[in-house]
Amino acid sequence: MTTTAYPLCWPAGWKRTPASRQTKAKFSRATPTSGGARSLTLTEGVMRVMVELQRMGIDQQDVIVSTGVRTRLDGLPRAGEREPDDAGAAVYWQDHKGHRRVMAIDIYNRVADNLAAVAATLEALRSIERHGGAAILDRAFTGFAALPAPTAKRAWREVLGIDELAVFVDAETLKEAYRRKTAAAHPDKPGGSESAMAEVNVAYAEAKKEQAELNR
């Protein structure tokens, strides 16, 4: 099964919170002008997750933020979309040991708040390591086993249209191929689809990782 950023890919075996039991969260962000607080935006929720994962040494290319919100070209949830019927959020990543992890929360009635809850949980777990509990942290994360890592059904060279005989591919060539393919695969474009877009995103991530290893 391929892990998708959209639609929401809830981890197998994880219990769901019925909509009737979801609550309104208290996650907010102070506004500098009024001194008051406002509801957290979707973009801010995503950034909180990314910041916590970066502090754990996780690269963005190894992260999939899966929600019921349609994605941007970079695979992250698109701001300005209506709140989906399913407000759950699942974050998948690969740690420095190559282990696939996932954390999913759906107890709140807004995607942004469930993402903020994921970030807050990551921060709490990370504090264990700061206090000398690295082994405890590792054991804790064994409970967050994820679905198999997403892989393209076709080789990344085929998906991106890169010459198979070219061993080394420069970053600009990859970017141009990615832009060209996403322009055609995006679900808002004729002939595009969510699955096609996901395949291009996965292929691009695999291409960058392979080329980085070749250039070491």
Closest alpha carbon to 48 in 81, 76, 71 = 76
Of the candidate ranges 16-20, 33-37, 195-199, 212-216, the one whose mean pLDDT is the lowest: 33-37
Share of the chain above pLDDT 70, in %: 81
Surface-to-core class of residue 161, CB atoms within 10 Å of its CB (0-12 exposed, 13-18 middle, 19+ buried): exposed
Closest alpha carbon to 196 in 181, 174, 179, 209 = 181
Output the CA angle 128-37-18, nearest 5 degrees.
65
Tell me the pLDDT tens digit for each residue of 97-126.
Answer: 777 888 899 999 999 999 999 999 999 887
Tell me the pLDDT tens digit for each residue of 47-69.
Answer: 999 999 999 888 888 899 999 99
Taking the domains of the chain in order of start, what are their residue ranges? 19-144, 156-214
Tell me the pLDDT tens digit for each residue of 133-184.
Answer: 555 556 555 555 554 444 445 788 888 998 776 678 888 898 899 889 888 8
* Phi, psi (degrees; rounded to nearest 5) at 29: -135, 130
Question: What single letter denotes the amino acid at residue 154?
Answer: R
What is the CATH topology of the domain spanning 156-214? Helix Hairpins (1.10.287)
Q: Measure CA 165 to chain center.
A: 32
Tell me the pLDDT tens digit for each residue of 7-38.
Answer: 999 888 788 998 889 999 878 775 455 455 68
User: DSSP characters for 35-76?
Assistant: S-EEEPPHHHHHHHHHHHHHHTT--GGGEEEEESSPB-TTSS
* Bridge partners, residue 29, by sequence: 38
Structure tokens at 215: 């250039």
Of the candidate ranges 5-14, 74-83, 174-183, 205-214, the one whose mean pLDDT is the lowest: 205-214
- The pLDDT assigned to 140 comes to 53
**What does pTM read for this prediction?**
0.63
